Chains A and B, each alone.
Chain A
């Protein structure tokens, strides 16, 4: 039962980083991904609401399955989590409200909210997990910002096409490889036995992304971009994995069977519902959306 509970929580946490990582990354790079920001936002529009519920679900599961862990986590990284939630709210407000009114001032305010909120979310994840790693909060924020931005840039390459996202992705992957990986090692220096292997694997995956992106575009480009996206998704799983490996040992100590019995069988349904959304919006963005 313990194993299943951990698997369930881990599934939703990793799912959050892989899915929402992309839309948060696009938000971080909004000014640099193309001249028509409305078109850039259309890349993430159908997904971001369905992506962020993975974190809401994770929080619900954490409360129901591991309240001791929850109390411990929230106690140690209280400040970072408050900033995270506030940045998240700011970002969502920006996304929902930006397109609701014309006028340059209105647009600028919410553009700023989207960009600042997205950076805030990425950075506060870094600080929170850096604390779990043993204290290197700001250091690990460099890593998370790099990984979120990279995932967003590659996602924009796939959804938007064009040269601007590709050039951006090339830049970000270099910075993440050269600065993000060393920072991850530095943040986890206290537990190098756990951190180092993951950091090496991360470096390898990032090098692969770099290799794929460095090739000139052309025929078969979209399939190759798809592989780059898979690799950047794999890279961002380093964030929850590093956090998870450094959690204190906890067990369910009985109970919680009701939650597991109701929510467990539902997971395939939830995944199928989201897969449907991704399938419908699998194509390139052609025009601005509701946002």
Chain B
């Protein structure tokens, strides 16, 4: 492979993996925030347990996701100096705003939410998770403004060799940013909804804590029902902004088919849920339905990834469509160094994904009493003390 292909593969690997973590984080943060709101204002003990259980899974996923995001941030400087060099004003501005306006606040308050469980009053603690959720949306928005400019450059003028902001309004209301934002957010609710419903179904099939998981299942399925049509609608209206070039790209075409097939399956499951939701007894007795929901867990991920590949490969060979070619933006560097970097990152990311899945699975199966999050007095079995 050429150095350009390697650099593109490295970016695809980083962004694709990071995106999978983000999909769950965005949706699950919201569901946890909603449950915590009910716990604070409703006073039902089951909601507090739900916050800790689902919050634990959210934090595991967030922590591993953030590690992949670190490389994302540095990749532009490491591999694509031509992009920031030419388009720092239009591309760099939303990127800088993401780090300062959104991520900085999100990380600061998430730390406080995790570690300050018993040090803050419950209203302040609730406010934290909502701030974390809203800044996560803001992050998604700013990133999609930067990404939208690559797919559909608007609001800029050329000044010398550089692209300058001509209309901040046009840049920040780019339809190629706002429509994907709707698509990604509703996709995130679909992901988190199916995640919550599938884990709950798994426990219900084993008749564990029916009250706890029945309520969780309902929240998950309602999230799926609310999100399934908007996901398709926001996807559909974006087609004019996706560069397909007449379907000559096998990868793009395949991705689009996979995405729509996955969505069709999820839509059918959502319809089944719609019929069953009003009848609690039937919902819990339907073992086939619970099994179907359980196996649907990976599908939102498949659809997310396929949709993203479809959108971003169609833009090639342009980095900024019609403005900057990908080959003109890549850092001219040794093939060996790039190969070493991509090998290292592949191994590291594979390990991260495996560890994340293993931990999510373990904590999801153990149930709410095993959650370490928010355990006010962590039973600290003195760990075996190594001697130096």
Contacts from A to B (Cβ < 8 Å): 31-32, 35-38, 45-50, 52-53, 56-57, 59-65, 67-68, 70-71, 73-75, 78-79, 81-82, 85-86, 88-90, 92-93, 96-97, 99-101, 104, 107, 254-256, 258-259, 262-263, 266, 269-270, 273-274, 276-277, 280-281, 287-290
Q: Top 7 nearest A-B pairs by Cβ distance?
A: A60-B99, A64-B92, A64-B96, A96-B63, A71-B81, A46-B115, A67-B88
Contact partners of B115 in chain A: CB under 8 A = 45-46, 281, 289-290
Chain B residues within CB distance 8 Å of chain A: 60, 63-64, 66-68, 70-71, 73-74, 76-78, 81, 84-85, 88-89, 92-93, 95-101, 103-105, 107-112, 114-116, 119-120, 162, 164-165, 168, 331, 333, 337, 341, 344-345, 348, 352, 355, 359, 362-363, 372-373, 377-378, 380, 382-386, 388
29 residue pairs A–B, Cβ–Cβ below 8 Å: A37-B383, A46-B111, A46-B112, A47-B111, A49-B110, A49-B111, A53-B108, A57-B99, A63-B76, A63-B96, A65-B92, A71-B84, A73-B77, A74-B77, A78-B331, A82-B78, A85-B70, A86-B345, A92-B67, A93-B67, A96-B67, A100-B363, A107-B383, A262-B93, A262-B97, A270-B100, A270-B105, A274-B108, A287-B380
The residue of chain B having its C-beta at the shortest distance from the C-beta of A35 within the complex is: B385
A33 to chain B, nearest CB (A): 11
Q: Given A93-B352, A259-B96, is A38 in contact with B70 using a C-beta cutoff of 8 Å? A: no
Contact status B97-A259, CB under 8 Å:
yes
Residue contact A280 to B112, C-beta cutoff 8 Å: yes
Smallest CB–CB gap between B258 and chain A, Å? 30
Given A50-B111, A255-B162, A259-B92, CB of A78 within 8 Å of CB of B78? yes
**B-chain residues with CB within 8 Å of residue A280 when the two chains form the complex:** 112, 116, 119-120
A64 to B96, alpha carbons, bound, how many Å? 6
In terms of DSSP, what is the predominant structure of the interface of chain A?
Answer: helix
**CB closest residue in chain A, given B372:** A290
CA distance A31 to B97 in the complex (A): 39
Q: How far is the CB of A200 from chain B (nearest CB, A)?
A: 33
Q: Are A67 and B85 in contact (CB under 8 A)?
A: yes
- Across the interface, which residues of B come within 8 angstroms of A36, CB to CB? 380, 382-383, 385
Are B73 and A71 in contact (CB-based, < 8 A)? no
B331: nearest residue on chain A (CB-CB)? Answer: A75
How many Å lie between the Cα of A31 and that of B89 in the bound state? 46
Contacting residue for B70 out of A79, A88, A256, A263, CB 8 A: A88
A-B contact sample (15 more), CB < 8 A, given A49-B111, A50-B107, A104-B384: A32-B388, A38-B380, A50-B111, A53-B104, A59-B73, A60-B100, A63-B76, A64-B96, A74-B77, A82-B78, A92-B66, A259-B92, A281-B115, A288-B380, A289-B115
Residues of A with C-beta under 8 A to B88:
63-65, 67, 255-256
Q: Which residues from chain A contact B84 at a C-beta distance below 8 Å?
A: 63, 67, 70-71
Known pairs A64-B96, A86-B344, A262-B101; A101 contacts B333 (CB<8 A): no
| Cβ-closest chain B residue relative to A283 | B119
Could you tell me if A97 and B359 are in contact, using CB atoms closer than 8 angstroms? yes
Minimum CB–CB distance for A269 against chain B, Å:
8
Q: Does A85 lie within 8 Å of B71, measured CB to CB?
A: yes
Q: Does the CB pair A273–B99 fall under 8 Å?
A: no
A59 touches B77 (CB 8 A): yes
Bound-complex Cα distance A92 to B66 (A): 9
CB distance from B217 to the nearest CB of A (A): 25
Minimum CB–CB distance from A79 to chain B (whole Å) comes to 7
Cβ-defined contact, A57 with B108, below 8 A: no
The distance in angstroms between the C-alpha atoms of A281 and B386, with both chains bound, is: 28
CB-CB nearest in chain B for A264: B100
- B3 smallest CB distance to A (angstroms): 13
In chain A, what residue has the closest Cβ to B108?
A: A50
Beta-carbon contact of B70 and A92 below 8 Å: yes
Of B60, B85, B103, the contact of A71 (CB 8 Å cutoff): B85
Question: Which residues of B sit under 8 angstroms from A82, Cβ to Cβ?
Answer: 78, 341, 344
Residues of A within 8 A of B64 (CB): 93, 96-97
State A255–B384 Cα separation when bound (angstroms): 58
Closest to A57 in B: B99
B77 touches A266 (CB 8 A): no
- Known A74-B81, A96-B63; contact A60-B73, beta-carbon cutoff 8 A: yes
Chain A residues with Cβ under 8 A from B119's Cβ? 280-281
Q: A56 touching B73 by the CB < 8 A rule?
A: yes
Closest to A99 in B: B372
| A78 proximity list for chain B (CB < 8 A) | 78, 331, 333, 337
A277–chain B nearest beta-carbon distance, Å? 5
Give the distance to chain B from A6, nearest Cβ to Cβ, in Å.
15
Contact A38 B383 (CB under 8 A): yes
Distance A59 CA – B348 CA, assembled complex (angstroms): 22
Chain B residue contacts of A97, Cβ below 8 A: 63-64, 355, 359
CB closest residue in chain A, given B110: A49
A60 to B119, CA, bound (A): 32
| Bound CA–CA A101/B366 (angstroms) | 12
Min CB distance, B207 to chain A, in Å? 27
Interface pair A61/B377, CB less than 8 Å apart:
no
Which residues of A are found within 8 Å of B109, using beta-carbon distances?
A: 273
Could you tell me the distance between the alpha carbons of A23 and B245 in the complex, rounded to whole angstroms?
50
Closest chain B CB from A248 CB (angstroms): 15
Q: Which of B60, B108, B345 has the most CB of A within 10 A?
A: B108
> How far, in whole Å, are A178 and B33 apart by their CA atoms in the complex?
52
Contacts of A70 in B (CB 8 A): 77, 81, 84
- Tell me whether A263 and B373 are in contact (CB under 8 A): no
Is B81 in contact with A61, judged by CB distance below 8 angstroms? Answer: no
Q: Is the CB of A263 within 8 A of B85?
A: no
Which has the most chain B C-beta neighbours within 10 Å: A60, A276, A288?
A60
Contact between B73 and A290, CB atoms less than 8 A apart: no
Q: Report Cα–Cα, A59/B98, bound state, in Å.
A: 11
- Tell me the complex Cα distance, A109–B148, Å: 41
